[in-house]
Amino acid sequence: MNKYYDRYINYKTQIDERLFNFIEEEHPKSLYEPLKYILSGGGKRIRPMILIFCCEAIGGTIEDSIDAAVAIEILHNFTLVHDDIMDNADTRRGRATIHNKWDLNIAILAGDELIGLAYKSLLMTNSPNIGEIARVFTNGIIEVCEGQSYDKEFESRESVSVSEYLMMIRKKTSKLLETCAAVGAYIGNGSPEQVENLMNYAKNLGLAFQIQDDLLDITADENAFGKKIGGDIVEGKKTYLLLKANEVVTGESEKKLISEIIENTRDRDISAQAIQKIKEIYSDYNVIDSAANEVKNYTLKADSYLDELDNSDAKEMLKWFSKMLLSRNF
């Protein structure tokens, strides 16, 4: 495809290999079978990739950072296993979730163990900054738990403001990307300014990514996106679009429809007509434009932090990777 893509695939292969071979234990089977299952489940390896490129962008190498990169992917998998329990999700990436394939207790324990395994891989990193690296990693875990708690709280709350929503996704989605950048930067012995710039880059990329995910629920091509269009509306998910609409809509019938979705008081069988009506509201009240603008602004902001760094192949990689990510091109 191109030299960027080739490098991505090369790194992905290395990450996957480490990940698949990370667990050598066999017993207890009730713990290690589900762990092997989840770690072999595939994925784009977005987070480890950002960690490695951030490390490289300031002079480090993939060899220095791959243990930490594997650690962050294991940590990400912990969040998936426990979130799937909380969301009653039966499948993930087309495969049965752990609590569905095994049971609740096994899924709780597998998630717990993944945190331990994540630290195990992280602490294999050979760096004089290991204390600081472990500290930013730990802050990541703490804030991701806070983000997930807010998300669950918001589900049962009647009203959530757009700014509360942004605070929540900053913790739930962006924080882990920010952690990748910080860990990569510390491994690369970055200066305080470099660490700061890379963290800000990742934070803004995360916000752009999440809001775009909300947007794609309405605007995407169903086949390319791989999810059902309007699925968030059917689920009553409090997305950027829905919360923004709730703040700006003025018409009586439109206000009523939006709050019914937010308060989950409608029948779960939301008609295609109602979804169409909501799409029109989003369009009429410039909610879609507003979301698209947010994505654009966060993306520009992310790029501007990268521009502060000296030029390098890895910096170009980060730019290419952000673009691929936001265009959902792989």
Contact positions vs its own copies (CB under 8 A): 25, 28-31, 78, 82, 85-86, 104-106, 108-109, 111-113, 115-117, 119-120, 123, 130-131, 134-135, 138-139, 141-142, 145-146, 148-150, 152-153
What is the C-alpha to C-alpha distance for residues 204 and 197, in angstroms, rounded to an integer? 11
What is the C-alpha to C-alpha distance for residues 73 and 179, in angstroms, rounded to an integer? 12
User: Which residue lies nearer to its own copies by CB, 109 or 306?
Assistant: 109
User: Which residue lies nearer to its own copies by CB, 121 or 322?
Assistant: 121
Minimum CB separation from its own copies for residue 160, in Å?
12
User: Which residue lies nearer to its own copies by CB, 28 or 192?
Assistant: 28
Minimum CB separation from its own copies for residue 223, in Å?
34
Cβ burial, residue 128 (10 Å; 0-12/13-18/19+): exposed
Furthest C-alpha separation in the chain: 62
Separation in Å, CA 145 to CA 78, 120, 171, 209, 298: 11, 20, 8, 19, 23
User: Which residue lies nearer to its own copies by CB, 142 or 300?
Assistant: 142
Minimum CB separation from its own copies for residue 85, in Å?
6
Q: Is the CB of residue 69 less than 8 Å from the CB of residue 43?
A: no
Minimum CB separation from its own copies for residue 65, in Å?
16
Distance of alpha carbon 169 from the chain centroid: 9
Minimum CB separation from its own copies for residue 108, in Å?
6
User: Which residue lies nearer to its own copies by CB, 168 or 318?
Assistant: 168
Tokens of 217: 């629920």
The single residue listed with the structure tokens 């030299």 is 3
